[in-house]
Structure 1
């Protein structure tokens, strides 16, 4: 733990955190003094991830469940309060990507992506904000958007649409939440090295060539930005979206052109 942990005494929920960006956010939050409820749709993965961060089970707890289910989101917030006494930070990182050609994209995939990416984040923000409002003292909410919400990407129309919508949701909720001291923002990661992406052939090589900074992001790069936006240092920042992509959206070359 840091000598001067900036999240000491704070409680956070992070969804979609069994691995990748969400996991690293949880790890850094715990290092900085927070108590964390780590969620993933895969219960075994969530529990193992939490154990890897905190083998004592006192400051990081893994909870399996699907954020597409509103009842589960409400349970998640209640569990945070029951176990840790309050809720200060909610990070909606859970999301799914279902690639598909626009002309043949199936209805089932369309609504599944919306239910997780939009419903899961909207109702997490709603449940978390209700708790923050009730307990007083403000709070911080953060959504994980994507550069695909800024630049078109082949076969990702639905995914990109949901990510752009999350950024508008963060902006819209400024009107609802500011009076209660709750700030709300979004991060938009670009190409990032995770367990999933590194399993793709030549992913790092391709995105190192396409990214002006010469490499894709690490999960730590994204987590550092996320922690800043939910920290006391960013309390006057709200309704904003921060792109973390090594400059890719400035030039936007497509991997499909390779």
Structure 2
């Protein structure tokens, strides 16, 4: 299935996986629209991606703002959501308010976005959400993310049935070298990556480009729906 001239909306397309995904769709000659909460990141992303991308500022936790966004852009073909904040911390110590905030972002943000997108989505198109490997193999301190990721994957299975013939899938990334870890001292970050790489069958951590190709595949393959595409370098095996 060609993506040439198809309109693709990427929520969270300003850095890391989202930015690489927007670029991957542009490489397929798609018309790409990216949306993010940060106007400065949108400006940087537009400069990186070139003039053929549309940008919009949006808080996808707000039903009103999401509805206004889709009303502005009109009809489109594929929706990809890579945005969403998590929360790490031991179950007995992580404040419940932080847990609820994480659900508001990564679960309810994706839920609301899909709900408001439907009137504008081409029935031959697709929706791809994002979960994460912690949904099946959580380390200590990741119980909240495990719950959120599992909830997103359960939602996708239900939506694939409810929204048919629109295809609905989810990408579940493992550890990825993204700006999310930029706040760590470089030496500590590289030490973390090295330690993880030694445990993985692929012997490295992922780059955003590795994950981006999964979103393109799910948009192009017209016979894939209700699927979780796990891109974790084999982390679930060790």
1:76-225 superposed matches below 5 A: 76-81=69-74, 86-132=75-121, 136-178=122-164, 181-197=165-181, 200=184, 201=188, 202-225=191-214
Report how far residue 235 of structure 1 moved. Answer: 1.1
**8 Å Cα contact 1:77/1:87 also seen in 2:** no
Structure 2 match to 1:249: 236
For residue 50 of structure 1, the aligned residue among 46, 50, 70 is 46
For residue 41 of structure 1, the aligned residue among 18, 37, 53 is 37
TM-score normalised by the chain length of structure 1: 0.85
Report how far residue 29 of structure 1 moved. Answer: 0.7
1:143-164 Cα distance to aligned partner (Å, 9 max, x none): 1110001112221211221111
Instruction: State how many pairs are aligned.
Output: 233
Runs of 4+ in 1 over 4 A off after TM superposition: none
Structure 2 match to 1:69: 62
Instruction: In structure 1, list runs of 5 or more residues that go unmatched.
Output: 252-258
Report how far residue 137 of structure 1 moved. Answer: 4.2
TM-score normalised by the chain length of structure 2: 0.92
Is 1:23 matched up with 2:19? yes
Report how far residue 198 of structure 1 moved. Answer: 5.6
Report how far residue 96 of structure 1 moved. Answer: 0.6
Name which structure has the greater RCO, CA cutoff 8 Å, separation 6+: 2
**8 Å Cα contact 1:145/1:188 also seen in 2:** yes
Instruction: In structure 2, list runs of 5 or more residues that go unmatched.
Output: none
Q: Which moved more, 1:192-201 or 1:155-164?
A: 192-201
Q: Which moved more, 1:123-132 or 1:195-204?
A: 195-204
**8 Å Cα contact 2:63/2:116 also seen in 1:** no
**8 Å Cα contact 1:198/1:204 also seen in 2:** no
